[in-house]
Amino acid sequence: MSLPLNYLYEFGDFCLDVEEKILSRGGEVLELTPKGFELLSIFVENQGKLLKKENLMDSIWADSFVEESNLTFNIGQLRKLLGDGAHQPKYIKTVRGHGYRFISDVRRVPREDQTLKAPDVEEVPARPADGGGSVPSAPVRQRTMIATGILIAIFLSGAVWILVRLISDDPVKIAESEFSSEKLTNSGTAATAVIAPDGKYVVYAAGLGSERGSVWLRHLDTGSVVEIIPPSDNRYYGLALSPDGTILYFVRRPLKSSEPAGIFRVPVFGGVPQKLATDTEGWMSVSPDGKLISFVRCTHTDLDNCSLWIANSADGSNPRRIVTRPKPFRIDDNRFSPDGQSIGFAVGQSSTASNEFGVHSVDIETGVESELTPEKFFNVKNLIFLDGGELLITASRVPTKNFRIWRIIPDKKAEPLTDDADSYSVLSVDHASSKIISTRINQDFRMYVSKLEDPTVGKKIAVASAGRFSPDGRIYFQSIQSGNDEVWSMLPDGSGQQQLTNDPADDGRPLPSRDGKTIFFVSNRSASAQIWRMNPDGTDQAQVSMRNGGAPYESSADQRWVFFRQALDGTIWKVQYEGGEPQPVTKTNRTNFAISPDSTQAAVFKPEGSDDQYQLVDLSTGEALQVFKTPNPELRIRAAAWLPDGSAFLIAACEIETRNCALWKQHPDGSEPKRIKTLEDLDINDLSVSADGKLIAIAQGRWTHDIVLLKGLK
Mean predicted confidence (pLDDT) in 324-331: 94
Least confident of 401-415, 496-510, 590-604: 401-415
Confidence of residue 85 (pLDDT cuts 50, 70, 90): confident
Mean predicted confidence (pLDDT) in 427-436: 89
Hey, what amino acid is at 225?
Answer: V
- Greater confidence (137 vs 50) lies with 50
Question: What is the rounded CA–CA span in Å between residue 513 and residue 226?
Answer: 56
Q: Determine the pLDDT at residue 1.
A: 37
Question: What is the rounded CA–CA span in Å between residue 191 and residue 156?
Answer: 47
Least confident of 132-141, 207-216, 360-369, 503-512: 132-141
Please name the residues in contact with 620: beta carbons below 8 A apart, sequence gap of 6 or more. 600
Ordered domains of the chain (ranges, CATH)? 7-125 (1.10.10.10), 180-442+706-711 (2.130.10.10), 453-585 (2.120.10.30), 589-693 (2.120.10.30)
Question: What is the rounded CA–CA span in Å between residue 652 and residue 654?
Answer: 7
Residue 377 neighbours by CB distance under 10 Å: 27
- SS3 for 91-104 is CEEEECCCEEEECC
**Rounded (10°) CA dihedral 663, 667, 670, 676:** -30
Mean predicted confidence (pLDDT) in 512-541: 95
DSSP state of 189: B
Hey, what amino acid is at 482?
Answer: S
Q: Cα dist. 403→48, 393, 398, 407, 411 in Å?
A: 29, 9, 10, 13, 21
The H or E element containing residue 147 is helix 137-167
Burial class (CB in 10 A: 0-12, 13-18, 19+), 37: middle
Contact indicator for 379, 403 with CB cutoff of 8 Å? yes
Note the pLDDT tens digit of each residue in 612-648.
Answer: 789 999 999 989 999 998 888 888 899 999 999 999 9
What 3-state class would DSSP assign to 276? strand
Q: Cα dist. 341→143, 407, 553 in Å?
A: 57, 21, 48
Residue 330, beta-bridge partner list: 348
- Greater confidence (505 vs 447) lies with 447
Instruction: Give CA 12 to chain center in angstroms.
Output: 36
Mean predicted confidence (pLDDT) in 215-221: 93
Question: What is the rounded CA–CA span in Å between residue 411 and residue 702?
Answer: 38
The HSE-up count of residue 36 (CA atoms within 13 Å, CB side) is 17
- Greater confidence (222 vs 65) lies with 222
Question: What is the rounded CA–CA span in Å between residue 177 and residue 320?
Answer: 45
Q: Determine the pLDDT at residue 402.
A: 84
Residue 159 neighbours by CB distance under 10 Å: 10
Contact indicator for 269, 285 with CB cutoff of 8 Å? no
Question: What is the rounded CA–CA span in Å between residue 119 and residue 123?
Answer: 6
Max distance between CA atoms of the chain, in angstroms, equals 92
Work out the end-to-end distance of the chain between its first and last CA atoms, rounded to an integer number of angstroms.
41
The HSE-up count of residue 697 (CA atoms within 13 Å, CB side) is 29
Q: What is the pTM of this model?
A: 0.66
- Greater confidence (683 vs 72) lies with 683
DSSP state of 540: S
Contact indicator for 54, 419 with CB cutoff of 8 Å? yes
Contact indicator for 488, 499 with CB cutoff of 8 Å? yes
What 3-state class would DSSP assign to 439? strand
Burial class (CB in 10 A: 0-12, 13-18, 19+), 367: exposed
- Highest mean pLDDT of the ranges 30-44, 144-158, 231-245: 231-245
Question: What is the rounded CA–CA span in Å between residue 431 and residue 52?
Answer: 34
b/e map of 564-590 (b: 16 or more CB within 10 Å)? bbbbbbbbbbbbebeeeebeebbebee
Q: Is the pLDDT of residue 135 over 50?
A: no
Contact indicator for 586, 572 with CB cutoff of 8 Å? yes
Question: What is the rounded CA–CA span in Å between residue 2 and residue 151?
Answer: 10
Contact indicator for 391, 342 with CB cutoff of 8 Å? no
**Rounded (10°) CA dihedral 132, 136, 138, 144:** 80
Q: Is the pLDDT of residue 33 over 50?
A: yes
Task: Look at residues 27, 22, 21, 25 and name the one whose alpha carbon lies nearest to residue 11.
Answer: 25
